[in-house]
Amino acid sequence: MTKREHYQSHIDGIRAIAVLVVIVNHLNPAWMPAGYLGVDMFFVISGYVISLSLWVRSDWSLKEFLLDFYQRRVKRLVPALAFAISFAGVMACLVVPDPAENLRTGVAALFGVSNFVLYASASDYFATSIQSNIFAHTWSLGVEEQFYLIFPLIFWFATRAEDKRRAVLWVISGVSLLSFAAFVWLYPSDPGEMYFLSPIRFWEMGAGALAFVLEKYLRVENNRKFISCSALLAIGVLVLLLAVPSRNSASLIVAVVPLTAWIIVAAKYNPALVRVMNVNVVQHIGLTSYSLYLWHWIFIVLARWTFGVKESTFFWILLATFILAEISYRCVERPIRKGQFKNPIKIGVALNVLIALIFIYVAPQFKNNFLALEGKLLQSPNAFVDMNGLSFARTCVVDDKTRPMKEDTFRNCTLEPKSLDLPTVWGMGDSHAGHLQAMLVSLYEQTGVGVHLIETPGNHFPPAGRKSIPREKILKEVESRMRPGDIFLLSRLYLDRDGEGVVEDLNLWVKEVQAVAKKLEEKGVSVVVVGPPPMFDFVYKSTCAGFFFSDDKCSIPRERVKRRIEPVEKSLASAADEQKNLHFFSSFGVICPVTQAQCSPIEEDTFMYRDRDHLNLYGASRLTPAFQRFLTDHGLLH
């Protein structure tokens, strides 16, 4: 049977849907919240198409069967992938400050194991580290390639049975069921990391394979109208699932996979759907979907590192994506697929090895990249100043894992007051207390007050139900050293990083702060709570540099920032009114004064932030004069 005889054009229409929803989701998740599940649609399509291809060759010998399959897969996947990875690797060396992690993923992608590399590095698919990795999207290719390693062998042996259709059905069902059981068991425990594991993804390609086998049992003539209508309904439900926000990605996957499988089987019996899917533009997007998938993420990540991913840049990202995808399809992918090569597998492996060696031995020379956008265009101070001659980040940041509390940690993270009549400011909390370190050190240098600060990342104080052994040790030591007149300084992450609201436990936390203040009132200790500074939208500081699109930097309207911060400040101010020794200091009004219409992370060509919501030493030092006046005005510093 020739390719034309088993080619089904409507599948390219489904590919077009899958790649478009992925691109839209990656550009702006709000437009297509579950669009990332277009990758799961591709898995199902692959299972169906591969089964169709293997079925027509199932009477071949095992050697011919496997050799033909792998040669076709290499010619289909490797050239376009090698081209895209080579380009992206060069660009990563130019714009990414330290491209090592990106390049490691790129090398792994060349050999179909980038999903395991991402999993081993404990990367969360939905985390910022993934969003900045130019090769992160290749995880799905790794899953497919690992599927291709074992599936043809299973398929061929199953077709040796007398009733090969029934044998293939039972074998694929068994393997898929095991994979699905692993998915149900493991995926909910940590969707971010489990997202990458191929064994718990095989059932999705198995669903496509089962669709191919079960289609042979389908009685079309007696049920054509039902099949036709159900295909249309399935597409409607699928689009709805992709467009509606949901936090339960596991349930969505379980729904999207069978829907896609049924659409593949049934859509060709709906004349209206076939006409739509056979429109030239739709067909071409489907035919170039592999190249579009490869290139869209590359340009999105490059945009994140340069001019930003926002409405004003969407057009340029899409334009670059479609141009490079078209070049890749016409000049690389299609010619090589149609070409005759003596040993395509050897050529493909050799090409990938060559690119990998270049990445491993040459690319590291560009650790300080050519463009160095952040360093050249804007001053970007460090996060902290040294404390007692030691690095604050290495000495005074402790957690329950890799940064333990040591015997000398407390001493090294304390600056004693310069005279006995001066108070000590005891700072405590998560990284949003830690980012005030430069303010406290500056206060010590200017007034002589004692300061102490040990940051416990991800663990604020009071705990609001969370437990942290290091923080409990620190608190016990602080309480034993406090004197009347001292100040207990608290801050935390207040704003929801994934939305426009505040953290869920804010009200509980404020009540606990009041309880702490009441307890410390007996010791003559005052409590000062520092409110949140503005939280910005940028992911990487280089997008604020103005190197490209200089009229659209990272500033945001002050009114918008005020709407987010105002509920927090009102809650803290109200708590301070109710408790005599509790005081509230607003950092928002200092970092973004009321005289400004826009809030910016930059002041006089210098970043005040180390990332979108943490101040660096420059930004924290900017708070010192206002904080000193605040302490004096409230009678806490004389």
Cβ atoms within 10 Å, residue 307: 24
What percentage of the chain reaches a pLDDT higher than 90? 59
What the block records as the tokens of 458 is 């991800």
CB contact burial 113-130 (16+ within 10 A = b; e otherwise): bbbbbbbeeebebeeeeb
Residue with tokens 């935390």: 492
Tell me the mean pLDDT in the region 352-369.
72
Tell me the mean pLDDT in the region 4-13.
78
Residue with tokens 């399509």: 45
CA 632 → CA 293, 425, 625, distances in Å? 59, 13, 11
Give Cβ neighbours of residue 426 (< 8 Å, ≥ 6 apart).
452, 478, 481, 482, 486, 487, 488, 489
pTM of the entire structure? 0.71
Residue 426's SS3 state is strand
Q: What is the DSSP letter of 328?
A: I
Split at pLDDT 50, 70, 90, the class of 7 is confident
Give me the pLDDT at residue 551, please: 43
Q: Which residue has the higher pLDDT, 95 or 143?
A: 143
* Beta-carbon-side half-sphere exposure of residue 453 (alpha carbons within 13 Å): 31
Residue 637 amino acid letter: L
Give me the pLDDT at residue 66, please: 93
Q: Give the pairing type, strands 450-455 and 414-415.
A: antiparallel
Alpha carbon 60 to its chain centroid, in Å, reads 44
* CA–CA dist 542, 552 (Å, integer): 13
pLDDT at 377 over 50: no
* CA–CA dist 203, 157 (Å, integer): 19
Split at pLDDT 50, 70, 90, the class of 550 is very low
* CA–CA dist 568, 610 (Å, integer): 22
pLDDT at 373 over 70: no
Spatial CA neighbour of 490 closest among 526, 465, 458, 466: 526
pLDDT at 380 over 70: no
Q: What is the DSSP letter of 534?
A: P
* CA–CA dist 125, 40 (Å, integer): 14
Cis, peptide link before residue 335, omega less than 30° from 0? no
Q: What is the pLDDT of residues 47-81, one digit of tens each?
A: 999 999 999 998 999 999 999 999 999 989 999 99
Q: Which residue has the higher pLDDT, 448 or 394?
A: 448
Question: Do 133 and 91 touch, CB atoms closer than 8 A?
Answer: no
Give me the pLDDT at residue 259, please: 96
Give me the pLDDT at residue 412, please: 92
Tell me the mean pLDDT in the region 518-535.
95
Tell me the mean pLDDT in the region 468-493.
87
For residue 556, the cross-strand partners are: 599
Which domains, from first to last, does the chain contain?
A: 3-364 (no CATH), 377-633 (3.40.50.1110)
* CA–CA dist 540, 544 (Å, integer): 8
pLDDT at 131 over 90: no
Residue with tokens 């702490």: 516
Q: What is the pLDDT of residues 383-404, one digit of tens each?
A: 788 888 888 888 898 876 777 8
CA 243 → CA 35, 37, 233, 240, distances in Å? 7, 11, 15, 5
Based on the number of CB atoms within 10 Å of its own CB, is 284 exposed (0-12), middle (13-18) or buried (19 or more)?
A: middle
Per-chain mean pLDDT for the chain = 87
Give me the pLDDT at residue 552, please: 43
What percentage of the chain reaches a pLDDT higher than 70? 90
Q: What is the pLDDT of residues 506-515, one digit of tens each?
A: 999 999 999 9
User: Any idea how long the chain is?
Assistant: 638
pLDDT at 135 over 50: yes
Spatial CA neighbour of 79 closest among 349, 357, 363, 362: 349
* CA–CA dist 16, 288 (Å, integer): 8
Q: How far apart are the first and last CA of the chain?
A: 92
Give me the pLDDT at residue 545, please: 60
Q: What is the pLDDT of residues 15-44, one digit of tens each?
A: 999 999 999 999 988 899 999 999 999 999
Give me the pLDDT at residue 549, please: 45
pLDDT at 490 over 70: yes
